[in-house]
Amino acid sequence: MLVLAIESATPVAGVALVTESKLMAEHYVDYGKTHSQTLMVMVDQLLKGAGLQLGDLDALVVSAGPGSFTGLRIGMALGKGLALGAGLPLLGVSTLDGLALQAGPCDGPIWPMLDAGRGEVYTCGYRLEEGRPERVGEYRACRPERLVSEWAAEGESRVVVLGDGALRYRQLLEASPGLHLVWPPLPALLPRASSLGTLAVDRLRRGERGDAVSLVPVYARLSEAERRLQEEGR
Amino acid sequence: MGELILGIETSCDETAAALVRGGTEVLSSAVQSQVDVHRRFGGVVPEIASRHHIANIVPVVLQAVDAAGASLRDIEVVAVTNRPGLVGALLVGVSLAKGLAYALRRPLVAVNHLHAHVYANFLAHPHIELPAVCLVVSGGHTSLAYMPAHGVFEVMGETRDDAAGEAFDKVARFLGLGYPGGPAIEEAARGGAPGRYRLPRVLLDPQEYEFSFSGLKTATVNLWRRLQSEGTASVNDLAAEFQAALVDVLVEKTVHAARHTGVRTVLLAGGVAANSRLREALAERAAASGLQLFYPPLSLCTDNAAMVAACAHHLYLRGETAGLDVNAHPAVKTL
Ligand SMILES: [Zn+2]
């Protein structure tokens, strides 16, 4: 099974070719160009480098959110176009799920965080079960201060954190008394397309089938206009 | 026969796809409008528009392909609006078109939305003679351009502040007439008469082709407040006078631009080209000045993808195709 993964939920643009047993190729950039300029070029280079065509793939996977609204839609729309034109299944996998995988084997809960602006992070907790991170709870946007108090309330003293949200609020997190933070090494700190690909291969093997028609991002946050309307209604 | 182009349009609040052969023969045109979604906000909310585009884009493309009795493999060129518009909305269409063109191994053509509006005219009237003067009026734009040849637009003037459609929306909202403002004001104006109240025709420099509608908007608001305090207000009469004032300015500048450039053809385009008073007034003045006026049928005035494909036809013939790194450009204001 061969999957092309596209990661676009944060300023990192990534593409990867992944099978059950092999990370065949990966391209990762984080130098401030827009995903619209980089992603399609990277897909083309990756396929050409591997001597492959879209028709050789079994499926495509894109980041499903949460994350940057526009970033998610660029990757997903590109994935939809590729899947539609090549007649391939398209899966959405959460970038938070992918990041949790990057934490590797570790003690304690894993909390990937993506910078959500407005003093918040997109996040979700994970616990290892038989070596694999299993999600605990829903994807959500919340203030890092709140996570810290939740961890304290649950008696968590050792937490694995990663993602650009964790980096942004590093000082705040590290200033929490009685909390020991574990930071994965640099190559695992930010979203990798290969993580999405790995999770997608698992899901495809379990019989999951995605399609380009119905896939939409998980935003985990209302648009600003809807939020305001809701507040006025209150 | 001519090449089969798939057009894709997501620059504002319509998700649209169309199949057009040879730049003129519309095989299908699918438009998913979000006007009901944005009504409760009184205007287009960019983030909500983008959310609907990503949900609707593939169904709309498939609908256009099916309605044309074609398959995706029949498409020879993929065309997409990449400027100007709401950046998040444009990026959905651009990214999808990019992926689709790549997967189908077809050329991609990036189209200016305002040029596309003008090309709605050529779908309805394939034998329009150039050069022409074009007036593009919509919710986001008010531009006068000289069009010497296909695909070539030289801007003569634009609005300094509000676009014509924006002025309609703002005044309609203020008067409590509803959204979108263009049809709402036209409807109210039908029940009133221009001239009962008097609003200014802001021509700025009569020798120039720039527009300004914010003064008219303010004058309308002030007049309405005064009328209401006097207890004699007729919203229909005010709507009629506002519409007349705005149309008079557009007509005056357009006819002047045509005379100045010596063209025989005037092309009206954009969402506000659906306004019947504008069509009638411009037709009357054009006829009196020996000019031939064209405007698209109502269905092609508002945003659609057939006009995108029609415009792309000429770019494709000239070999102006886009690379894999083509981006969306929200702020290109000029034609
Ligand atoms: Zn338009």
Mean pLDDT over the full length of chain A: 96
Asked if A91 has any chain B CB less than 8 Å from its own CB, the reply is: no
- Residues B97 and B145 placed together within one structural domain of the fold: no
CATH number of the domain enclosing B84: 3.30.420.40
Residues 314-333 of chain B with CB under 8 A from chain A are 324-328
Among the partner residues A82, A219, A229, nearest to B102 by beta-carbon distance: A82
Residue A209: pLDDT over 90: no
Same domain as B201, residue B174 = yes
In this structure, the answer to whether residues B155 and B263 fall within a common structural domain is yes
pLDDT in tens, A129-177: 988 999 999 999 999 999 999 999 999 999 999 999 999 999 999 999 9
User: How many angstroms does the Cα of residue B117 sit away from the middle of ligand 1?
Assistant: 6
Q: What is the pLDDT of residue B207?
A: 79
Does residue B326 fall inside a structural domain? Answer: no
Q: Does residue B335 have a pLDDT over 80?
A: no
Give yes or no: residues B8 and B68 share one domain. Answer: yes
Kindly determine whether residue A82 and residue B325, on different chains, have CB atoms separated by under 8 Å: no
Contact between residue B272 and residue B164 where contact means Cβ atoms under 8 Å apart: yes
Q: Does A103 touch chain B (CB under 8 A)?
A: no
Mean pLDDT of B205-222: 91
- Domain with B64, as residue range(s), is 4-117+301-317
Chain A's closest residue to B58, CA to CA, is A213
Chain B contact for A229, CB < 8 A?
yes
Average pLDDT for A63-86: 98
The answer as to whether B20 is a domain residue is yes
* Per-residue pLDDT, A234: 61
Whether residues B109 and B183 share a domain: the answer is: no
The answer to whether residue B137 sits within a structural domain is yes
How many domains does chain B fold into? 2
Q: B332 pLDDT band (50/70/90 cuts)?
A: low
The DSSP call for residue B180 is S
- pLDDT bin (cut points 50, 70, 90) of residue A210 is confident
pLDDT in tens, B226-249: 999 998 889 999 999 999 999 999
Q: pTM of this prediction?
A: 0.94
Closest CA to B113 of B265, B250, B254, B8: B8
The more confident residue out of B331 and B220 is B220
| Per-window interface: A 18-47 vs B, CB < 8 A | 34, 36-41, 43-44
- Rounded CA separation B13/B239 (Å): 25
| Residue (of B5, B10, B113) closest to B58 by Cα position | B10
Residue A94 has pLDDT above 60, yes or no: yes
Distance in angstroms (rounded) separating the CA atoms of residues A137 and A128: 14
| Structure confidence by residue, pLDDT tens digits, B191-201 | 999 999 999 99
Do B270 and B185 fall within a single domain? Answer: yes
For residues A51 and A49, what is the distance between their CA atoms, to the nearest angstrom? 5
**Do B246 and B142 share a structural domain?**
yes
Quick check: is B91 in a domain? yes
B325 within some domain:
no
CB atoms within 10 A of CB B101: 28
Tens-digit pLDDT profile for residues B19-43: 999 999 999 999 999 989 998 888 8
pLDDT given at position B175: 95
Q: Say whether the ipTM exceeds 0.90.
A: yes
Q: Please tell me the distance in Å from B48's CA to the nearest CA on chain A.
A: 7
Q: Say yes or no: A117 contacts chain B, CB-CB below 8 A.
A: no
Establish if A78 touches chain B: CB-CB under 8 angstroms. Answer: yes
Residue B269 lies in a domain: yes
Same domain, B108 and B250: no
What are the E-state strand segments in chain A? 3-7, 13-18, 23-29, 59-63, 90-93, 110-115, 121-129, 132-142, 158-162, 180-182
Residues B39 and B107 in one domain: yes
**Residue B328 belongs to some domain of the structure:** no
Of B144 and B203, the one with more pLDDT: B144
Cβ contact, residue pair A36, B94, below 8 Å: yes
| Residue B47 resides in a domain | yes
In 3D, which of B72, B81, B139 has the Cα closest to residue B332? B81
- Pair (B263, B136) in one structural domain: yes
Indicate whether B38 and B187 sit together in one domain. no
Is residue B334's pLDDT more than 60? no
Closest by Cβ to A79, choosing from B87, B99, B104 = B99
* pLDDT for the residue numbered B181: 93
Q: Kindly state whether residues B163 and B113 are assigned to the same domain.
A: no
* Comparison of pLDDT for B136 and B334, the residue scoring more: B136
Interface test with chain B among A4, A34, A70, A226, by most B beta carbons within 10 Å: A70
